[in-house]
Chains A and B, each alone.
Chain A
Amino acid sequence: MKNDKNLDELFRDKLLNYEQEPPAYILDNVLAGVAGARRNRKIVFWRIAGVAAALLLAFIAGWQINTRNGQNVKPAVILSQQKAPEISTGVKPEIAANESENQSGNMPSEIVNKPGMENLQLAEVAKGNQVSKNSTKLLTENSKSEQIAFVVESLRIAKNEESALLKPVKSLFRLINSGSQNVATNLHEINKSTQQAVRTDKTIDQQIMEQNRQVMLAENQTKEKSRWLVGAQVSPEYNVSRSSHSQVYASNMLSASSNPVDLGGGISVEYKKGKRWSLQSGVYYSGMGQSSGNSSYSNRNITSSADFASNLGKEYFNAPVNIDSNNSKMMMNSTAGVIEFKGIPSGIVLGTNLEDKTLVSNAVVVSDARFIQNFEYIEIPLYLRYTLIDSKFDVEMLGGFSSNLLVGNQTFMESSAGKNRIGSTKDMESMSYSGTLGIGLKYGLSKSIYLNVEPRVKYYLNSLNSNSAVTYKPYTIGVFTGLSYEF
């Protein structure tokens, strides 16, 4: 042991302050490397802008395509099982009008095809020019090939509209993959050139090595080992109702008066590859609801019993409903869809056999109650995240899509008598899809634990209700707050 210590001391004495003059060209390479690093910092801004634009494009593309599909609303049929002979004849012209609108709604697919046809003609013209003008042969060939490529692309898009929805997502993944492939290729080239380099020659070889080193430096900024993050977040969620309805449905609809703030949250798993990009998934619970009441359905010439008429003049909520006499079920139109009552609830005044010819329904409810529709979703997201600022206080941008599974659908009536569950909303889709865009702020509490605050906007891509007369696509705005652990 003592011998070992002596050996160590002798080595330390001789080598601790050992000095040797390095070759002169090292300084030149260092200065070139520092200049390269400064240049890289300048292009960081443009990289961030590019990524932000790509995420925004994906968001808008998904929205636009979805909006276009949403125009294909089928003819509105409201509660066709109800018997109201006089009323149904009055409704028919409106349905016919809707049908004609739907026909025009199919036009976009034809319009998409048209540019392709024009380009085919252009391609033919270009071909003709090629024969007559040999002097511009090369130019014409180029333009022809470009036009043909465009025609093929146009036809492909027209034939397969669904692929357009996935295109922004695919292009983002391609962006990441191509980046990693380039890194792999460059590393291979660097290794190859390093092996072949002859260090005694300090002219051309030194320049090549310097270029390789700059590439490696740029890669080192982005390439790091892959990491995982798991976390849990909660968020207050404010829902903004966004809906459209057929005219007939809307004329008998109860308007939403307020959107209560619900609570959401869940656990997330994030895979981080490199310094900037990461992919996130997880399981989230999301509550969503809306409240309706005190929206007067008035100015109708209803004549009925004196008892019912006396209530109509008051500031009471009154809405048309349909009552199925076979099973005593009552149905009421809301912005989110048709509310199906389990039975006729107590605490309401019901007017039936009314003589209002404009009324599609066969009854009117008068009540001071509020109807609260609650929907609960389990969300499985797939988000792409990009780190804009990487420091003690990280700033990230996130965008992506989620699958939402409906797990709760309840409707409550809240009146002076209390809050009771009275039924559910009909035709709610069991599975729906949403897009999310957000900004993530991450603060490192320790080396591996982070505090996250993420304002997010979620919008539903498809209508949450399958009723053809209802398009219900609410927004959800939330601020997700939680902790994440990196390993």
Chain B
Amino acid sequence: MLYHHFAPKMFGVCLRYAKDATEAEDNLQDGFIKVFANLKNFRHDGSLEGWIRRIMINVSLEKLRKQHLLYPVEDVAIYDSVNFSDDVIAKIAADDLMKIIQQLPPRYRMVFNLYVIEGFSHQEIAKEMSITQGTSKSNLARARDILKKKIQENFSELVGQNNYTA
């Protein structure tokens, strides 16, 4: 069945775009209702998985728009750039990375996901989110800084060990 085949992977997508599992479940549910309602409109010029993934992303985008989170927000803190070896991230489990991403402010999380994971360009992100390309770039930089900071805070033993070994 279509649902059983794609649900685990799409739940993974929804988890990345949501602040927690509850929101991800809502998005997954809304997304699959749309999938079944529009299945007859699916053109077989692309992969079904890609089409379903796009619907899940759209549901997340739509929710973000409804919550008026696309308007510019001011950062309450300025994050200093933290540098550590790539090995640190390699050692962190995917579940833990997911939790860190979920802690990002909603708009930063959206930009980071679209750019880094989905491979969107800043131009495409700007169009999807109704923001400027400059804002998209700025949001991405902030998202990276926050992620690094969170990794340093939550996995200090790995960072420290890494620095030590380095």
CB within 8 Å of B: which residues of A? 3-4, 6-8, 10-12, 14-23, 26-27, 29-30, 33-34, 37, 199, 213, 217
Query: Which residue of A is nearest B12, CB measured?
Result: A18
Cβ A26 vs Cβ B29 within 8 A: yes
Cβ A14 vs Cβ B3 within 8 A: no
Q: Which of B10-29 contact A (CB under 8 A)?
A: 11-12, 15-16, 22, 25, 28-29
Residues of A within 8 A of B159 (CB): none
- Known pairs A15-B98, A22-B11, A26-B32 / 16 extra A-B pairs, C-beta < 8 Å: A3-B83, A6-B86, A7-B148, A10-B90, A11-B89, A11-B97, A11-B147, A14-B89, A14-B97, A15-B101, A17-B12, A19-B9, A26-B25, A33-B30, A34-B33, A213-B30
What band does the interface of chain B fall in when counting residues whose beta carbon is under 8 Å from A?
20 to 34
Please give the distance in Å from A76's CB to the nearest CB on chain B. 66
Cβ B117 vs Cβ A15 within 8 A: yes
Q: Top 4 nearest A-B pairs by Cβ distance?
A: A18-B12, A33-B33, A19-B8, A22-B11
Residues of A within 8 A of B12 (CB): 15, 17-20
Can you list, as one digit per residue, whether each of B66-100 has a CB less than 8 Å from chain A (1) or not (0)? 00000000000000000100100110101001100
Cβ B3 vs Cβ A27 within 8 A: yes
Please give the distance in Å from B17's CB to the nearest CB on chain A. 11
Q: A22-B8, A33-B33 are in contact. Are A12 and B116 (CB under 8 A)?
A: yes
Partner of A30, one of B22, B33, B94, B116: B33
Cβ A21 vs Cβ B8 within 8 A: yes
Residues of B within 8 A of A217 (CB): 33
Cβ A18 vs Cβ B29 within 8 A: no
Q: A10-B86, A11-B97, A22-B7 are in contact. Are A29 and B29 (CB under 8 A)?
A: yes
Interface of chain A: mostly helix, strand, loop or mixed: helix
Interface centre among B29, B98, B101 (most CB of A within 10 A): B29
CB within 8 Å of A: which residues of B? 3, 7-9, 11-12, 15-16, 22, 25, 28-30, 32-33, 36-37, 83, 86, 89-90, 92, 94, 97-98, 101, 115-117, 144, 147-148
Cβ A18 vs Cβ B98 within 8 A: yes
Please give the distance in Å from B1's CB to the nearest CB on chain A. 9
Residues of A within 8 A of B92 (CB): 14
Residues of A within 8 A of B15 (CB): 18, 20
Query: Which residue of B is nearest A187, CB measured?
Result: B66
Please give the distance in Å from A38's CB to the nearest CB on chain B. 9
Residues of A within 8 A of B33 (CB): 30, 33-34, 37, 217
Q: How many angstroms between the C-alpha atoms of A381 and B150 in the bound complex?
A: 61
Partner of B147, one of A7, A18, A33: A7
Partner of A15, one of B7, B16, B32, B37: B16
Residues of B within 8 A of A3 (CB): 83
Interface of chain B: mostly helix, strand, loop or mixed: helix
Residues of B within 8 A of A4 (CB): 144
Query: Which residue of A is nearest B31, CB measured?
Result: A30
Please give the distance in Å from B33's CB to the nearest CB on chain A. 4
Please give the distance in Å from A191's CB to the nearest CB on chain B. 11
Residues of B within 8 A of A30 (CB): 3, 29, 32-33, 36
Q: How many angstroms between the C-alpha atoms of A26 and B148 in the bound complex?
A: 34
Please give the distance in Å from A357's CB to the nearest CB on chain B. 81
Query: Which residue of B is nearest A27, CB measured?
Result: B3
Q: How many angstroms between the C-alpha atoms of A11 and B147 in the bound complex?
A: 10
Residues of B within 8 A of A19 (CB): 8-9, 11-12
Q: How many angstroms between the C-alpha atoms of A66 and B95 in the bound complex?
A: 73
Cβ B94 vs Cβ A15 within 8 A: yes
Q: How many angstroms between the C-alpha atoms of A173 and B28 in the bound complex?
A: 37
Please give the distance in Å from B113's CB to the nearest CB on chain A. 9
Residues of A within 8 A of B29 (CB): 26, 29-30, 33, 213
Query: Which residue of A is nearest B37, CB measured?
Result: A37
Cβ A20 vs Cβ B117 within 8 A: no
Q: A17-B12, A20-B15, A29-B29 are in contact. Are A34 and B36 (CB under 8 A)?
A: yes
Residues of A within 8 A of B147 (CB): 7, 11
Residues of B within 8 A of A18 (CB): 12, 15-16, 94, 98
Residues of A within 8 A of B116 (CB): 8, 11-12
Q: How many angstroms between the C-alpha atoms of A167 and B32 in the bound complex?
A: 44
Residues of B within 8 A of A14 (CB): 89, 92, 94, 97
Cβ B117 vs Cβ A26 within 8 A: no
Please give the distance in Å from A1's CB to the nearest CB on chain B. 11
Cβ A20 vs Cβ B101 within 8 A: no
Residues of B within 8 A of A8 (CB): 115-116, 144
Residues of A within 8 A of B89 (CB): 7, 10-11, 14
Please give the distance in Å from A226's CB to the nearest CB on chain B. 14
Chain A to chain B contacts (Cβ below 8 Å), 22 pairs: A7-B89, A7-B148, A8-B144, A11-B101, A12-B116, A14-B92, A15-B94, A15-B101, A17-B9, A18-B15, A20-B8, A22-B25, A23-B25, A26-B25, A26-B29, A27-B7, A29-B29, A30-B36, A33-B29, A33-B33, A37-B37, A213-B29
Residues of B within 8 A of A34 (CB): 33, 36-37
Residues of A within 8 A of B7 (CB): 21-22, 26-27
Residues of A within 8 A of B11 (CB): 19-22
